[in-house]
Amino acid sequence: MSPFCEIFKRSVLQLVRRPVYWVAMFLLPLFVFLFLSSLMAEGLPQKAPAGVIDNDGSPLSRKITQNLNGMQMVDITAMPESFTEARHMMQEGKIYGFFLIPHDFEADLLAGRSPEISFYTNMTYFVPASLLFKTFKTTALFAKAGVASEVISSVGFTQNPSPLLQPVNIVTRPISNPELNYAIYLCVSFLPATLQLMIILVTCFSLGQEIKYHASRRLLEMARGSIVRAIYAKLLPQTLIWTVIVIFMESWLFRWQGYPMHGSWWWLTLSEILFVLASQGFGLICFGIFPNLRLSLSMGALIGILSFSVAAFSFPVESMYPAIGIFSWVVPIRYNYLIYVDQALNGIDIYYSRYWFAVYFIFIVLPFALMPRLKRAFAQQAYVP
Amino acid sequence: MKKFFREYYDTFLREGRMVKGDIGILIFFILLPLAYPIVYSLIYNPELVRDVKMVVVDHDRTPLSRELTRRLDATEGIRLIGYASDLSEARRAIDSHKAYGILEIPEGFARRAGRLEQANAVMYCEMSLLLRYRAILVGATDVMQDLGATLTTERIDEIAPLAETITAGADLMPIHNVTMGNLESGFDSFIMPGILILILQQSLVLAVGMCGGASREHPFRSCYAPFGATRPIIASILARTTLFLMIALIPTLYIIHYVPLMFRFPMAGNIFEEILFILPMMLSSIMLGMIFQGVVRERESVFLLWVVTSVIFLFLSGLTWPRYAFRAPWLFLSDCVPATWGVEGFIRMNTNGASLSQVGESYRNLWILTGVYAIGAYVVQRFVQYPAVRRHAGQSVSASC
């Protein structure tokens, strides 16, 4: 058997024998896939608990309450008697916002004394509060428009009053995600980011184990002294497993979950496979810089976890401080995300994604520069806890 | 009784010595809670998304269409970077990542407005990030209402000078909205207080888990009596809990008080009540760590087994996706995580200024979790961890990488 095959076989056996690899390569990633996509299956959280303080108690104020309760995103669960009571309920987490109709609201409105309607949203919880804000505002505006059109017709204006009330209309068209599905954002970025984390960790862990258990010199011997052969034969079985998982993830997201896929499957698949290689390359870089089990794992974990934020899936790079934003370009997941946006979400020409594909290769090639350092570490096989 | 205190004292000293000598454990206990909050807060510290780049396709080229464009450019969320001659040119700007939105003003926009018809313009948004869309949407809505109010006032005077009610007080029924807690609706102030608690839980579980791995690898250094002496396990658990609480005290104070202070997050809570609240969170995390020790065969496997759970716990905590929209199995899972209650109670105290009694439900649940996990910890220590350490003490650590 050739040295390459021998190491390959040894590496496969190592993977099969240690349960920790099963957990890290199959169980945890698949659990995260299932968890995230099932948690957010609805797309947007519906029915946020909210309250109405109706100090007026008139037919008009009851109508407004009914309208609010009929909205999709809101569930009026409480009718607090006072502002203080409503604030307490908010602090206790029973409601996420409330709507305040003042005393003598209807009477003041009809008399033209401009009563003020107000609503309060608890921005401590961003998503429910934003949805409540939108619903409250729409309801208040509709109520206002209803009153205004009555006033207008009462002065003798007979045409349809709506252009008069809203002469300019800007229609917003969210391209590719018209229903503003929140799950699309979180799943398509967080699942590959989870994989990147696990790939980096498993790469560092499996190499570090060789040194920790004094097997690295033997590995080098098996590879007839070639560190490149040793490393690549050792990592190849992992590459194959990760490739299967990443293609499963791609199908899971874009086929079975039905997230937007407007481009070519081939380019996306190519991107996913290169992403696996780039992440392994990144793990190799971590291990090449610190050929020590704990340090490389610490660095991999640090970067892997920070990637979820710094790769800008929720907060855009151009809004970050430049000194921080620059770090978004040094993690493979950023390119996976950008290619997803171009190729799957927007379905544009591959020409626009050419740079992102090219960067993957930098991650793949860069570890070669660290091979001499790795070879030294493998030959010394000194485990520092 | 004497044996109990003897074991307590012994374990405390020996485990303390082990932690002191192990950089890996110290990193989890101290460096992680000190450094992570800063790095995280810095990422999101600009808080708001401003000046999302947009291009305009103006087929109308009238004073009104230019007025609309100018007002959009003046909003906080939107910045116009130029005019495109048609939609396909604008589309190229989006495709090459130079802009994230297109405003298309159709021909006849001003004419329709002049005829008392509704004048429509279309805003196309690139949807790769929700926060960018939100910035554009808020800007467009404000301008729409603002410009609309100006036009309505002008017209009503033309049609019916009597309709003073609408124009005089400017507003028939003013609408007033107030954001509570996170007053500026900043992203950092929203997400960080929750993340801080998660960091605290994860640092404790990882550190305690690694202690377990270290004990198995170096049984003689650790607190367990390796050669069969039956000593009270409860004393050893209590001793280690005290030790871990002491080590984590300063990082915890730093996390719940000084980090919000440095980054000017909302701080409406009472610090003493917050400390009281966070105590059972720390205890239950330590107990969870001792349960976790049951599967940690060596120090470094904590990385593979536990780091990724941060992502799961973040979502289980209900910070991004509210808990009222969870399905039953996930709700149950989320109930079992100390950080869920920790996050929920802490952000309400810290951001909404709730008192300890107002977060009583979370507080009670944290103590219940502490109790349940303490029993779990006892079982794991008694039947898994102790036998494993004894076994390892008997043989040298076998190579099985």
Question: Which residues from B are below 8 Å from A167, CB to CB?
Answer: 113, 116, 118-119, 147-148, 151-152, 155
- Mean pLDDT score, B1-16: 84
User: pLDDT tens digit string along A107-124?
Assistant: 888 887 888 899 999 988
pLDDT above 70 coverage of chain B, percent? 92
Residue A336 lies in a domain: yes
- Mean pLDDT score, B121-134: 92
Instruction: Give the residue carrying structure tokens 């050792």.
Output: A234
Instruction: Check whether B100 has a pLDDT greater than 60.
Output: yes
Q: Give the ipTM of the model, two decimals please.
A: 0.90
Nearest by CB to residue B315, choosing from A36, A175, A208, is A36
pLDDT at residue B59, as a whole number:
95
- Mean pLDDT score, B371-393: 87
pLDDT at residue A384, as a whole number:
75
- Mean pLDDT score, A304-330: 91
pLDDT at residue A328, as a whole number:
92
How far apart CA A210 and CA A223 sit, in angstroms, is 14
Instruction: Assess contact for A225 and A321: CB atoms under 8 A.
Output: no
Handedness of CA B65, B66, B72, B78 (dihedral sign): positive
Query: What total number of domains does chain A contain?
Result: 2
Domain that holds residue A37: 3-41+179-380
Instruction: Give the residue carrying structure tokens 């640090």.
Output: A302
Residue A217 lies in a domain: yes
- Cβ of A309 within 8 Å of Cβ of B40? The answer is yes
Instruction: Check whether A312 has a pLDDT greater than 60.
Output: yes
Same domain, A222 and A298: yes
Nearest CA in chain A to B155: A164
Strands (E), B146-207: 175-180
| Chain-centre distance for alpha carbon B236 | 34
- Radius of gyration of chain A from Cα atoms? 29
Nearest CA in chain A to B297: A20
pLDDT at residue B163, as a whole number:
56
Asked if B98 reaches chain A (Cβ–Cβ under 8 Å), the answer is no
The single-letter code of the amino acid at A209 is Q
Which candidate in A74, A75, A123 is best for mutational testing of the B interface (most B CBs within 10 A)?
A123
Q: Is B117 helix (H, G, I), strand (E, B) or coil?
A: coil
> In the structure encoding, which two tokens stand for residue B347, read together?
């952000």
User: pLDDT tens digit string along A247-265?
Assistant: 999 999 999 988 999 999 9
What is the least distance, in Å, from the CA of B189 to any CA of chain A? 8
Among A315, A48, A45, A192, which residue's Cα sits nearest to residue B192? A315
Nearest by CB to residue A39, choosing from B129, B183, B321, is B321
Instruction: Check whether B401 has a pLDDT greater than 50.
Output: no
pLDDT at residue B170, as a whole number:
55
Q: Is A70 helix (H, G, I), strand (E, B) or coil?
A: coil
User: pLDDT tens digit string along A134-166?
Assistant: 899 889 888 888 887 777 777 777 777 777 778
Report residue B246: phi and psi, to 5°.
-65, -45
How far apart CA B110 and CA B64 sit, in angstroms, is 6
| Chain-centre distance for alpha carbon A364 | 25
Question: Which residues from B are below 8 Å from A165, CB to CB?
Answer: 148, 152
- Cβ of A205 within 8 Å of Cβ of B169? The answer is no
- Cβ of A301 within 8 Å of Cβ of B187? The answer is no
> In the structure encoding, which two tokens stand for residue A122, read together?
């608890």
Residue A157 lies in a domain: no
End-to-end Cα spacing for chain B: 43
Report residue B172: phi and psi, to 5°.
-75, -40
Asked if B113 reaches chain A (Cβ–Cβ under 8 Å), the answer is yes
Collect all residues with Cβ–Cβ distance below 8 Å to A80 and sequence separation of at least 6.
A51, A53, A86, A89, A98
How far apart CA B215 and CA B24 sit, in angstroms, is 13
Instruction: Give the residue carrying structure tokens 């290619």.
Output: A339
- Cβ of B123 within 8 Å of Cβ of A42? The answer is no
How far apart CA B190 and CA B23 sit, in angstroms, is 33
Instruction: Check whether A324 has a pLDDT greater than 80.
Output: yes
pLDDT at residue B398, as a whole number:
43
Q: Which helix (H) or strand (E) holds A248?
A: helix A227-251
pLDDT at residue B396, as a whole number:
46
Same domain, A11 and A102: no
Same domain, A97 and A199: no
- Mean pLDDT score, A77-90: 93
- Cβ of B40 within 8 Å of Cβ of A346? The answer is no
Residue A168 lies in a domain: no
Nearest CA in chain B to A292: B300
pLDDT band at B220 (very low <50, low <70, confident <90, very high): low
Collect all residues with Cβ–Cβ distance below 8 Å to A150 and sequence separation of at least 6.
none
Same domain, A372 and A247: yes
User: pLDDT tens digit string along A335-377?
Assistant: 999 999 999 999 999 999 999 999 999 999 999 999 999 999 9
A-B CB pairs within 8 A amount to 338
Among B219, B249, B166, which residue's Cα sits nearest to residue A157? B166
pLDDT band at B261 (very low <50, low <70, confident <90, very high): very high
What is the least distance, in Å, from the CA of A146 to any CA of chain B? 11
Strands (E), B311-380: none
pLDDT at residue B164, as a whole number:
54
Report residue B213: phi and psi, to 5°.
-60, -45
Residue A196 lies in a domain: yes
Neighbours of A44 (CB within 10 A): 16
- Mean of all residue pLDDT scores within chain A: 90
How far apart CA B305 and CA B325 sit, in angstroms, is 28
Least confident of A196-205, B147-156, B259-268, B364-373: B147-156
Q: Is B307 helix (H, G, I), strand (E, B) or coil?
A: coil
Same domain, A204 and A353: yes
| pLDDT higher at A181 or A283 | A283
Same domain, A351 and A333: yes
Same domain, A9 and A92: no
Domains recognised in chain B with CATH numbers: 2-45+186-394 (no CATH), 52-167 (3.40.1710.10)
Instruction: Assess contact for A324 and B42: CB atoms under 8 A.
Output: yes
Instruction: Check whether B229 has a pLDDT greater than 70.
Output: no
- Mean pLDDT score, B250-264: 93
pLDDT at residue A183, as a whole number:
86
Report the CATH number at residue A62: 3.40.1710.10
Question: Which residues from A are below 8 Å from B297, CB to CB?
Answer: 20
pLDDT above 70 coverage of chain A, percent? 100
- Mean of all residue pLDDT scores within chain B: 87
| pLDDT higher at B236 or A340 | A340
How far apart CA A67 and CA A213 sit, in angstroms, is 69
pLDDT at residue A109, as a whole number:
85
- Cβ of A118 within 8 Å of Cβ of B176? The answer is yes
Pick the last residue of a domain from A146, A171, A188.
Answer: A146
User: pLDDT tens digit string along B164-185?
Assistant: 555 444 577 888 888 888 888 8
| Chain-centre distance for alpha carbon B318 | 9
- Cβ of A91 within 8 Å of Cβ of B348? The answer is yes
Same domain, A334 and A216: yes
Highest-pLDDT range among A293-297, B263-267, B333-337? B333-337
pLDDT at residue A44, as a whole number:
83
Same domain, A213 and A355: yes
How far apart CA B191 and CA A187 sit, in angstroms, is 18
Same domain, A83 and A204: no
pLDDT at residue B397, as a whole number:
42
Neighbours of B49 (CB within 10 A): 22
Same domain, A127 and A26: no
Nearest by CB to residue A151, choosing from B44, B130, B163, is B163
Nearest CA in chain A to B37: A306
How far apart CA B229 and CA B235 sit, in angstroms, is 14
pLDDT at residue A272, as a whole number:
96
pLDDT above 90 coverage of chain A, percent? 63
Instruction: Check whether B71 has a pLDDT greater than 50.
Output: yes
Q: Which helix (H) or strand (E) holds B53?
A: strand B52-58
Residue A156 lies in a domain: no
Residue A281 lies in a domain: yes
pLDDT band at B279 (very low <50, low <70, confident <90, very high): very high
Nearest by CB to residue A28, choosing from B133, B308, B326, is B308
Same domain, A69 and A207: no
Instruction: Check whether A101 has a pLDDT greater than 70.
Output: yes
Least confident of A183-187, A299-303, B313-317: A183-187
- Radius of gyration of chain B from Cα atoms? 30
